[in-house]
Structure 1
């Protein structure tokens, strides 16, 4: 059950919090997590940013002043966990020990596949981003407490998540409320120019080297399905990290007549992350769910524990059944 006021009472009622998100951090992941992180600090709470993964290069500007811990580095007891933008409890990027030993788990998320795994949940699959949900929560907190919470730092974090999850307001998930939120965040001082430059206009040279190699693997099936494969050898050869090539996914979708785009990234032997995108009518979240993944109607993902060749074949067969 969604109840913002109950979550606000919980945020006020405890002292020690872990904020975290899903594996393979992205803009909405980091933006929403930082929004809650800084809000809790303003409430005088002990808050720790804990995640067992690396921040993508183009988003590091957001966390320059934040101490990010791994599960092994966190030693406190009696803490509460707030999981943001994570549609599946199994994808929370913390150790099982930290998750299971938490005295309370709150989930704030916008994935349709979310099964309300938290003790408290704020889930809205129609929201443009988890950052939009955090924005709603913080606006309500400001109303209740009669204090200013959203400052330039929080506005910048939330605006980053908003523009990355809406494709800079181009995706179908963009609603009037998203544009209104964007306006309000800009009025609060969100550093729009910095966000656009760092997120969309600062890809390293190696990104374009691997992009060229990746495009050589482009395969189009029945003029409606496009796929690109990135192997671990390609990542190593081009000296670029696993989390820094997700932007290549759009190249599979943005082809004339293509309805479904697929990016397959080999993390290690027999472990392949699959990103799925669609344009108009295919619900890729259902395809992802068939491989124990999840996501949204137009953007979803899963992990397949097989060779990248076999993973590609399995996903293609699943998409062909849907098409």
Structure 2
């Protein structure tokens, strides 16, 4: 792994950057990507926020004034010499830009906290033990202040970092929360993070139909051998309640947070024979091992994968692997 100082030195000596996240973006990679975007702008770099997927509805407040473009629009700009910064992406193949943008950069800078990350970048800052990628970015930006005597973290960056920290630690309640996470939250508050705006938008602004969809999903809930809970969201449900696929990940904790349940599973029907699976565990099960069986990955307590089958068969397959883990 490269040192923070090495990465900062390279950033200071370079001019053109593309920042992006993993596919199906969430709070941590939006917060970390946006923070790096703002940082590079403050350093007077040419920076492009490129992402092929849409923002979840509860994250749009962060980027309402940001020009986010897709890969095709970036390629139309004909930018030849650029560096790609991939944040919170444990797998090179899940970077949310077209492959040719990924493969033709001068250097790929990989900043991430997934244990499955294989250091695919030319420059890598990867620490699986950190609470979030936003905590890594926070460390990098604080180090930049030390080296360059430059006030790096402003209110916008503090708010973005706070968003990623809160989402990936479950508002500082998950097992990946450390003393450093509380220190970071405190300092971001002192630096101007709009914490109430984050909490209200991310956790307190679900549309009414989301709860109708949640009710329908809960009606599919099953508990197997007291330790595994599984629920489903079908395409028909999404169409009935007019909820976008990207806005339903908040449902999965309802499966995990049942008394005596160790593993919660949400199966999400994205297309014909394309089932996205979200996995969460409570105290001891390593759900990343389950996800890897289906070429997925993630963290010990939170992982995901895709099963190319119908939703009923996918449920049978994922339950079989979950029962092995407990």
Answer yes or no: same fold by TM over 0.5: yes
- Choose the corresponding residue for 2:222, options 219, 222, 227: 219
Q: Where does the alignment leave 5 or more consecutive residues of structure 2 unmatched? A: none
Q: Which residue of 1 aligns with 2:315?
A: 312
1:63 and 2:63 are equivalent in the alignment: yes
Partner of 1:151: 154
Match of 2:12 in 1: 12
1:140-219 matched pairs, under 5 angstroms: 140-219=143-222
Residues 232-241 or 111-120, more deviating: 232-241
Match of 2:241 in 1: 238
Shift of 1:109: 0.3
TM-score, normalised relative to structure 2: 0.98
2:263 to 260, 269, 274: 260
- CA displacement 1:43-93 (0-9 Å, x = unmatched): 100111111101011110000110010001102211110000000001111
- 2:46 corresponding residue in structure 1: 46
Partner of 2:91: 88
Superposed counterparts of 1:120-131, under 5 Å: 120-131=123-134
* Shift, 1:2, TM fit: 3.5
TM-score by length of 1: 0.99
Q: Distance in 2 between matches of 1:306 and 1:47?
A: 40
Q: How does 1:247-286 map to 2 (within 5 A)?
A: 247-286=250-289
SS in 2 for 1:74: helix
Counterpart in the other structure of 1:291? 294
- C-alpha separation between the residues in 2 aligned to 1:63 and 1:122? 25
What's the counterpart of residue 3 of structure 2?
A: 3
- Following superposition, the deviation at residue 304 of structure 1 comes to 1.4
3-state SS of paired residue (2:252):
helix
> Mean Cα displacement is larger for which, 109-118 or 298-307?
298-307
Separation in 1, partners of 2:2, 2:285? 28
Give the structure 1 partner of residue 31 of structure 2.
31
CA distance in 2, matches of 1:123, 1:108: 6
Whole-Å separation in 1 of the counterparts to 2:14 and 2:269: 41
Q: Tell me the CA shift for residue 237 of structure 1.
A: 1.2
The alignment's C-alpha RMSD in Å is 0.7
Deviation at 1:238, TM superposition (A): 0.8
TM-aligned CA deviation for residue 321 of structure 1: 1.2
Q: Distance in 1 between matches of 2:71 and 2:154?
A: 29
> Aligned partners of 2:87 and 2:108: how far apart in 1?
11
> C-alpha displacement at 1:187, in angstroms?
0.2
Structure 1 distance, partners of 2:217, 2:316, is: 18
Deviation of 1:248 after TM superposition, in Å, equals 0.2
Tell me what 1:322 maps to. Answer: 325
